[in-house]
């Protein structure tokens, strides 16, 4: 078996599926360096298992990573080449066996002129194959799955439905699946933070925190600049943590208001509550558009060589590290904004008009999965967000969700 530096039985095993790709390699680097025991407060063993159908890419990445002197062990797994030594070996099984966290960046990225939806057919098939593997080889009552592959809006429903179909004989287990499977929309919050920081010309000591809800494509990405705030920069981990908090703050609102006044002259408007100053409509519209279509900027700049990889790996590692830390016992819960099946959360389900899947702040525990969803961000949207952005977000998201559900049900 092509293992590299496997070490003893790990306390936590993280599997990365698609680890040989642009996101997968960088994400694996950030896990190898970010999950060193010193950073998770407990001296427990962590193992990352890398899988890809591109054997050379994953073997190379894992071997390279294994030379980094952090106490996180690495293994790699790939299908045998034709005529290989052990044609019966199942590399996906070897990768997934015992994994408590599975991160999936496997799939095809966009080229200029393509939408994320254009990736649906090929990536849905890949996700379904990997879901079959997860259902066969992981403990579905314990594992968490984080999906990166696009289109996230449709593929999370494919993943949830496929896993649910695979354990439908056990209704209690099937009911747990939506609580443990999430799509990663964190890159949108990272972009919103970055773009607002640039627009306000903030100090390096400040972090702009912008909650983003909805989905991960165009109009479905709903950046809530009305609830943005500035916070002291406390390193990327802490910044990521604060992105998950809900509005929480007239105090920070007035601070960001002062900043906006100073940087953008008279472009301050006050909300009806008089507490949370808002950006000038033109400035805000440009920021919203840039966040919604930020992925296109990277696709255009790469000019056919793919889409965002480094920023996605950064965003993905923020979330994956928090899950791993929870599994290691270094934190009690994960509080994050994740794309999930929300029909089980009555309040979110009602507000989102039963769209089915939505990215909202969730509180997740190792035992229960997503136990709680926080609706405050949705309740506190301002008029522009509620009247201009919200209807388009829901309409487009509904189509994407339905596409994923129909595809999965047709193959169930």
> Residues interacting with ligand NAD, by CB under 6 A?
17-18, 20-24, 51-54, 57, 105-110, 119, 123, 126, 129-130, 148-150, 152, 184, 187, 216, 306-309, 312
Q: Quick one: 256 or 308, whose CB is closer to ligand LMR?
A: 308
C-beta of 295: minimal distance to ligand NAD in Å? 7
Which of 12, 208, 298, 366 forms a contact with ligand LMR (CB under 6 A)? 298
**Which pairs count as long-range contacts for 252-258, CB under 8 Å and 24+ apart, including other chains?**
253/229, 253/277, 255/229, 255/230, 256/200, 256/208, 256/228, 256/229, 256/230
> Quick one: what does residue 18 bind among ligand LMR, ligand NAD, none, with the CB cut-off 5 to 8 Å set by partner type?
ligand NAD
Which C-beta is closer to ligand NAD: that of 195 or that of 384? 195
Instruction: Note whether 62 binds ligand LMR by CB under 6 A.
Output: no
Q: What DSSP letter does each residue of 56-117 carry, written as one string?
A: HHHHHHHHHHTTS-SSEEEEEE-PPPTT-S-TT--HHHHHHTT-SEEEE--SPPP-TT--GG
Which listed range, 50-58, 132-140, 265-273, 294-302, lies at the site for ligand LMR (CB under 6 A)? 294-302
DSSP-assigned states of every residue in 334-345: EEEEEEEE-TTS
Both structure tokens of 274 = 């008089």
Contact 50, 19 (CB under 8 A): yes
Q: Concatenated DSSP letters for 96-107?
A: HTT-SEEEE--S
Residues from 149 through 168 that contact ligand LMR (CB under 6 A):
150
**Choosing among ligand LMR, ligand NAD, none, which partner's interface includes residue 157 (Cβ < 5 to 8 Å by kind)?**
none
- Considering the complex, state which of residue 278 and residue 400 has its C-beta at the smaller distance from ligand LMR: 400
Position with the least CB separation from ligand NAD:
21
Total residues interacting with ligand LMR, rule: CB under 6 A = 9
Cβ of 129: how many Cβ atoms within 10 Å? 14
Q: Which of residues 124-153 bind ligand LMR (CB under 6 A)?
A: 150
Residue 239 within binding range of ligand LMR, rule CB under 6 A: no
For residue 185, the SS3 value is coil
How would you classify residue 248: left for phi > 0, otherwise alpha for psi between -120 and 50, otherwise beta? Answer: left
Report what 345 binds from ligand NAD, ligand LMR, none; CB cut-off 5-8 Å by kind. Answer: none
Q: Which is nearer to ligand NAD, 24 or 223 (CB)?
A: 24
- Nearer to ligand NAD by Cβ, of 119 and 134: the residue is 119
| Residue span binding ligand LMR (CB under 6 A) among the ranges 246-254, 273-281, 295-303, 363-371 | 295-303
Annotated catalytic residues are: 216
Q: Check binding of 116 to ligand LMR (CB under 6 A).
A: yes
Question: Helix H segments across 115-185?
Answer: 120-137, 152-166, 171-176
* Residues facing residue 222 across a β-bridge: 213
Nearer to ligand LMR, 110 or 180 (CB): 110
Q: Which is nearer to ligand NAD, 47 or 216 (CB)?
A: 216
Judged by CB under 6 A, the residue of 28, 165, 226, 307 near ligand LMR is 307
53-73 residues labelled b (16+ CB within 10 A) or e (exposed)? bbbebbbebbeebbeeebebb
User: In sequence order, which residues have a C-beta less than 8 Å from that of residue 169 and are 6 or more positions away?
Assistant: none
Which residue, judged by CB position, is nearest to ligand LMR in the bound state?
295
283 CB-near residues (< 8 Å, 6+ apart)? 199, 264, 267
- Give the span between the Cα atoms of 362 and 334, in whole angstroms: 8
Helix (H) or strand (E) holding 189: helix 186-199
The one-character DSSP state at 254 is H
Minimum distance from CB of 48 to ligand NAD (Å)? 15
Query: Is 290 near ligand LMR (CB under 6 A)?
Result: no
Q: What minimum distance in Å lies between the beta carbon of 225 and ligand LMR?
A: 18
Footprint on this chain of ligand LMR (rule: CB under 6 A):
110, 116, 150, 187, 295, 298-299, 307-308
């Amino acid at each position: 078996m092509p293992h590299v530096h496997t070490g003893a039985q790990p306390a936590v095993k993280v599997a990365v599926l698609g680890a040989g790709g642009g996101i997968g390699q960088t994400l694996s680097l950030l896990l190898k360096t970010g999950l060193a025991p010193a950073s998770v407060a407990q001296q427990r063993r962590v193992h990352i298992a890398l899988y890809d159908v591109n054997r050379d890419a994953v073997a190379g990445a894992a071997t390279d990573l294994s030379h980094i002197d952090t106490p996180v062990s690495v293994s790699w797994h790939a299908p045998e080449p034709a005529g290989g030594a052990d044609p019966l070996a199942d590399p996906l099984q070897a990768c997934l066996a015992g994994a408590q966290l599975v991160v999936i960046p496997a799939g095809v990225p966009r080229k200029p002129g393509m939408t994320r939806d254009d990736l649906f057919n090929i990536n849905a098939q890949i996700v379904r194959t990997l879901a079959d593997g997860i259902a066969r080889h992981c403990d579905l009552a314990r594992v968490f799955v984080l999906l990166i592959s696009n289109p996230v809006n449709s593929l999370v429903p494919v993943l949830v439905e496929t896993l649910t179909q695979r354990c439908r004989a056990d209704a209690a287990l099937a009911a747990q699946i939506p609580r443990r499977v999430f799509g990663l929309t964190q890159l949108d919050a990272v972009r919103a933070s970055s773009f607002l920081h640039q627009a306000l010309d903030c100090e390096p000591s400040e972090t702009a925190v912008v909650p983003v809800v909805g989905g991960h494509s165009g109009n479905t990405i709903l950046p809530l600049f009305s609830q943005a705030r500035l916070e002291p920069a406390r390193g990327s981990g802490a910044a990521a943590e604060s992105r998950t908090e809900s509005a929480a703050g007239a105090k920070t609102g007035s601070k960001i208001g002062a900043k906006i006044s100073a940087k953008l002259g008279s472009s301050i408007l006050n909300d009806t509550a008089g507490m949370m100053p808002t950006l000038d409509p033109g400035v805000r519209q440009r920021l919203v558009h840039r966040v919604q279509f930020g992925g296109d900027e990277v696709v255009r700049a790469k000019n056919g060589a793919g889409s965002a990889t480094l920023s996605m790996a950064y965003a993905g590692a923020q979330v994956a590290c928090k899950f791993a830390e929870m599994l290691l016992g270094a934190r009690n819960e994960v509080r994050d904004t994740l794309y999930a099946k929300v029909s089980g959360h009555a309040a979110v389900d009602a507000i989102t008009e039963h769209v089915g899947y939505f990215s909202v702040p969730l509180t997740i525990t190792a035992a229960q999965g997503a136990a709680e969803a926080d609706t405050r961000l949705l309740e506190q949207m301002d008029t522009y967000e509620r009247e201009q952005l919200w209807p388009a977000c829901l309409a487009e998201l509904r189509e994407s969700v339905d596409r994923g559900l129909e595809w999965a049900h047709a193959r169930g």
